[in-house]
Structure formats: C-alpha cells, structure tokens
Chains A and B, each alone.
Chain A
C-alpha cells in the first residue's frame, strides 16, 4: 500500500491540515499549527 499526496497546509491563522491518500482513501487531520511537529509526519502515517 502506497501512501502518497502527503501535504500539510495552513488553514487560517491557527490551524494546519495534514492530508494523505492511501489505497484511494483520504486521511485528513486538523490540528493547531503552533503545535505541529512536521518531523513526525511519517510516524503518524505509519500508525
């Protein structure tokens, strides 16, 4: 299974949305941008 189209984009001032697509399904997570730890993106996708 390939995870692709991984993006992390700001929504407004305070939120960031992480998007990833795998096996045709789209995962979206919105969280406070001030807390976003970009380095853990791969970890979150594995889990």
Chain B
C-alpha cells in the first residue's frame, strides 16, 4: 500500500476467499489513517475455507493487557502464544530465560504455551512501514499460520480513547480467514481496571513483565514500568517491581504517557485520597497540555514544516509509514 503496486503471490499459495473479501475494508481503514497509502489489487488464487480450526489461544506477552485477557478468558483458553522479540530485540540468552519462565507459568495454569520467533520488525522497517500500524496484522498472520479456531489479541486502549493503531477493534476481526477468528479483546475495560483484576491474582501478577528495557524483569525506571507501578500502588500491591519510593519520577512519566492512562490514575488517586500521587500525575498532565499547545502553535505558524533535528532513530522513524490523521496539506 505504500508503493501502491499490485500484490502478487505465487499461484500455488492461495488466499482464503473470506480474507480476500475483507481486503477492501482493511485497506480503506489503513488509507483513512494515512493518506500516503494507496489501495492495491491482489493477484492470487483463492481457496474456500473448510470448517473451523482447533483450539482457542491468546497472544500473551506478560504485560497488563494480555495478563488481563488471560484472566478474563482463562476458562476457555487452550494455549498461550508468546512471540519472542515482538516488542524489543532479545538475544538467545534472554529468549531462553523467557521460554523457561513463561513455560513454567503456563504449566501452572494447565495451558499449552507456544513460542513464535519472527524478524517482522526488521522486515516491515525495510519496507518503510512502522510496526505501530501493522502489528495486529503481524500477530493475526501468526495465528492463521497456527490454525486456531479463535485467537485473542488483547486490547491496548479502552473505548473512550481508541485511536488508529495496528491492532484495533475494527481491524483485527477483518484478519479472520474463515478457519481462524481473530478477536480484539474487550475495549470496555480500562487499563487501571485491568491492573486491579491482575492485582487479585498473585500468580499472574508475579509473571507481569512490562519493561521496555528488560524482557525478563522490570527495571522500575522506564516509563512503562513507572506507569504500571503507579497503577499497582493504587491497587495496594507492589508486584514484581522495585518499590516506588520517589514519586518525583511520576511527574516525568505522566508527562510522556498516554492521556487515558494518566487521567484515570489521577481520578483514582484523588478518589482514594492518595494526595501525593494525584499531585504528581496532575503535574505531568499539565506538562502534556503545555507540550500539545506548543506543538499546535508550531504547526499553525509553520504549516507543519517543523521536523525534529535528524537524530538517528527519530529521523528514521519519521520516514516510516504510520498513522497520520493530520497530514501536511500544503498542496501548491
């Protein structure tokens, strides 16, 4: 869709007629999210799906979203699927540790665990596409390759804060192929409510891994660790994290964390009388507001011509295709 050219598959590799029928809608969604994308034709043979697949699975990364979905669907799940290195690079040692930890955890629940490895992050980057806009399709493709009857992808954002994202409730079900149904899990549950549910399950809580820096434990200093630690504080548990002694770090976290997470934690902190946490979260929100105001002012003054200085990774990221609801409309 970036190049706008026809996608041609070898004719001995057919595509499900059900998936082919969904492709126009899938492409309309992507084009809606980024005007630089173009609908493409598919040149491939098709097959008719024959019956449902076997087993019900959940993509389990050990974070808040998939840990909640695990608890919510525990009774019906046959298997957990862990994609090693999906969110970050993992070396062999880290993969081995992740396999061992998650296998023991799945066994304790009486579930099968399946590990998948893929170079998809580099693959889509080489094609000039950000994984943020395609990661749901990546997960779905793995589920289809394993022929489950149903496979859950945990939701990230609750209904009031849905935004264009690679995994989305309007998009994920369209990836179903007639054998496997892809389900974007419940968007009515907020992040804090998910955390509250996890806090009631010591076994799931003990395996909670959210860190951006370390795949097998939680550093306690990255934004994702800090936002989870703040939420767990509101739940009255610490979980597998270092103590949150210095609430000064919460302000910085809150100034860079998605609005929905910060707002609901601030409301809960106020309700629960956690004055210090409430104050820090509010300070972070004000910083966010200030940053947004400056960003929009810069757009208004420059016509969105401002770009960050080309600092390696940021510069590369800017060039990748991702969602963009406010494209540059300087059409002269």
Contacts and interface: CB of A to CB of B under 8 A. Distances in A.
Interface string B100-122: 00000000000000111111100
B72 interface: no
Interface in B38-84: 40, 42, 44-45, 47, 53
Interface in B152-202: 175, 177, 179-180
A24 interface: yes
Interface residues of A, number: 29
A2 B42 CA distance: 10
Contacts of A36: 145-147
B144 interface: yes
Contact of B120 (A2, A4, A29, A41): A29
Nearest to B116: A31
Interface in A13-45: 18, 22-32, 35-37, 39-45
Contacts of A1: 3, 5-8, 40
A24 B102 CA distance: 35
B114 A30 contact: no
A1 to B, nearest CB: 5
A37 B144 contact: yes
Contacts of B147: 35-37, 39-40
Contacts of B231: none
A3 B9 contact: yes
Indicate the size class of the contact surface on chain B: 35 or more
Given A31-B116, A46-B23, A46-B44, A39 B179 contact: yes
A9 to B, nearest CB: 14
Contacts of B19: 43, 46-47
Interface string B124-146: 00110000000001101110111
Given A29-B142, A31-B142, A46 B179 contact: no
Contact of A47 (B8, B47, B140, B146): B140
A40 to B, nearest CB: 4
Contacts of B90: none
A47 B6 contact: no
Contacts of A40: 16, 144-145, 147, 177, 179-180
B70 to A, nearest CB: 19
Nearest to B20: A46
Nearest to B15: A42
B119 A47 contact: no
Given A1-B6, A28-B118, A45 B146 contact: no
A39 B47 CA distance: 9
Contacts of A18: 145
Contact of B145 (A22, A28, A31): A31
Across the A-B interface, the 9 shortest Cβ-Cβ residue pairs? A37-B147, A44-B141, A25-B126, A42-B15, A40-B144, A35-B146, A47-B141, A47-B137, A42-B13
Given A18-B145, A25-B123, A45-B13, 20 more contacts: A3-B7, A3-B13, A6-B9, A23-B3, A26-B119, A27-B118, A28-B123, A29-B117, A31-B117, A35-B145, A37-B147, A42-B44, A44-B144, A45-B9, A45-B15, A46-B7, A46-B15, A46-B19, A47-B19, A47-B137
Interface of A: 1-4, 6, 18, 22-32, 35-37, 39-47
